[in-house]
Amino acid sequence: MTRLPDFLIIGAARAGTTALHSYLRQAPDVFMPDAKEPNFFAYEGQTLAVKGPGAGFINNSLTRLEDYAALFAGAPDGAICGEASPLYLYEPTAPGNIHRHIPDARLVAILRNPVEQAFSHFLYASRLSVETLDSFTDALGREAERRAQGWQPLFGYSAFPRYGEQLARYFALFPREQFLIRTYDEFEQSPESVVTDILAFIGADARFVPDMSQRLNAGAVPKSRIIQDFLMKPNPVTGAVGLVVPERTRRRIRDWLAKFNETSGTSMPPAARAILHERLDEDIRRLEDLIGRDLSAWRRPETVRS
């Protein structure tokens, strides 16, 4: 019998999903594959040929059901299976694919202030030497052009966090009781409470407390693009290391070295913030109506309802 997930973390990107994946899979009654973001429901049955920097992340997604099901073949009997792929919130085809295969799945979404999420995505892309522009404002200006050229969704910085539009697609197919929605602020302030809520929501033992001592997948800006490119992009030295060092170990060493070339605390340019508010404020209003929450703190002051 084909085993598929009982729950999915559908997003949002840059909203703690890597940490959440790490915490939940520690639970003894939960099974999650080692590899995060298989992206199966986003690209099922597609022939992927995304262009531009970092295209491999999309092109290496699982698109065949048998390959996806193999991720859960080793789950112990009685385990609650799940996985985390933030592209499920973004890609329009994902809700329908999920509904067709696992209509009763529990769906978890952590939503981050979309203006801050967009900037975090830019910092993350810069850290990985995927983003070639130093200016976030310039990157926002090039967004439509890059997507028209077939670049991967990452470069749609202001398209990724349109949660109102995205959740509306899910709510058209699934009953609301199948969703647990929390904010990134809530997760940052009390990760234990959010994890407890999720464990209870998916039917796991909510008394379990995972090790949360390690902060995962934080964004930062490289001090030197040359050094960052050497660490992150293929070259003869890293290629030779790859012949003798396992990929997981190699990535840990790479990320450890990269920390010495990174600086945090970079602020968003005011021009970029203004662009994002112009593009996103109306969708934030739509999200407020969808989930029944006051998100006025996410909107610029002049658009806050009285």
pLDDT at 71 over 70: yes
Tokens 């295209």, residue?
Answer: 55
Distance CA(142)–CA(260), nearest Å, equals 30
Mean pLDDT of 175-203: 97
Predicted confidence band of residue 164 (pLDDT cuts 50, 70, 90): very high
Return the higher-pLDDT residue of 285 and 216. 285
Query: Angle formed by the axes of helices 270-291 and 163-171, to 10°?
Result: 20
- Rounded to an integer, what distance in angstroms lies between the CA atom of residue 281 and that of residue 304? 9
| pLDDT bracket for residue 305 (50, 70, 90) | very low
Is the pLDDT assigned to residue 80 strictly greater than 70? Answer: yes
Residue 300: pLDDT band by 50, 70, 90 thresholds? confident
Taking the alpha carbons of 189, 193, 197, 199 in that order, is the dihedral positive or negative? positive
Two structure tokens written together for 157? 């910085």
Residue 290 has pLDDT above 50, yes or no: yes
- Nearest-5° Cα angle at 157, 98 to 11: 30
Per the CB < 8 A criterion, the answer to whether 201 and 181 are in contact is: no
DSSP string, 192-216: HHHHHHHHHHHTS-TT------S--
> Taking the model in full, what pTM does it have?
0.84
Question: Which stretches within the chain are classed as H helix?
Answer: 17-24, 40-43, 55-59, 65-70, 87-90, 94-101, 114-127, 136-141, 143-148, 163-171, 184-189, 191-202, 225-232, 236-242, 247-258, 270-291
Q: Is the confidence at residue 301, as pLDDT, over 80? A: no
CATH superfamily for 7-214+274-303 is: P-loop containing nucleotide triphosphate hydrolases (3.40.50.300)
* Burial class of 168 by CB neighbour count within 10 A (0 to 12, 13 to 18, 19+): middle
User: Cβ atoms within 10 A of the Cβ of 205, count?
Assistant: 12
pLDDT value, residue 92 = 98
At residue 77, the pLDDT reads 94
Q: How high is the pLDDT of residue 266?
A: 81
Report residue 237's pLDDT band, with 50, 70 and 90 as the boundaries: low
Instruction: Name the 3-class secondary structure at 296.
Output: helix
Residue 35 is predicted with a pLDDT of 85
User: Is 64 strand, coil or helix?
Assistant: coil
In this prediction, residue 3 has a pLDDT band, given cuts at 50, 70 and 90, of: very high
Find the range with the poorest average confidence among 120-124, 209-213, 243-247.
243-247
Closest CA to 141 of 300, 290, 279: 279
Indicate whether 306 pLDDT > 50. Answer: no
Q: Which two tokens stand for residue 165?
A: 């539009």
| Amino acid type, 70 | A
Q: Does the structure show a pLDDT above 60 at 231?
A: no
pLDDT tens profile 244-273: 555 556 555 655 455 555 556 689 999 999
Burial class of residue 259 in the structure, from the number of CB atoms within 10 Å of its CB (0-12 exposed, 13-18 middle, 19+ buried): exposed
Specify whether the CB–CB gap between 204 and 27 falls below 8 A.
yes
Q: 112 phi and psi, to 5 degrees?
A: -110, 145
How confident is the model over 15-70, as pLDDT tens digits? 999 999 999 999 999 999 998 999 999 999 999 999 989 999 999 999 999 999 99
Q: Could you say which DSSP state residue 3 is in?
A: -
Place of tokens 């959740």: 167
Residues 81-111 pLDDT 10s: 999 999 999 999 999 999 999 999 999 999 9
Instruction: Map out the domains of the chain as residue ranges.
Output: 7-214+274-303, 221-263
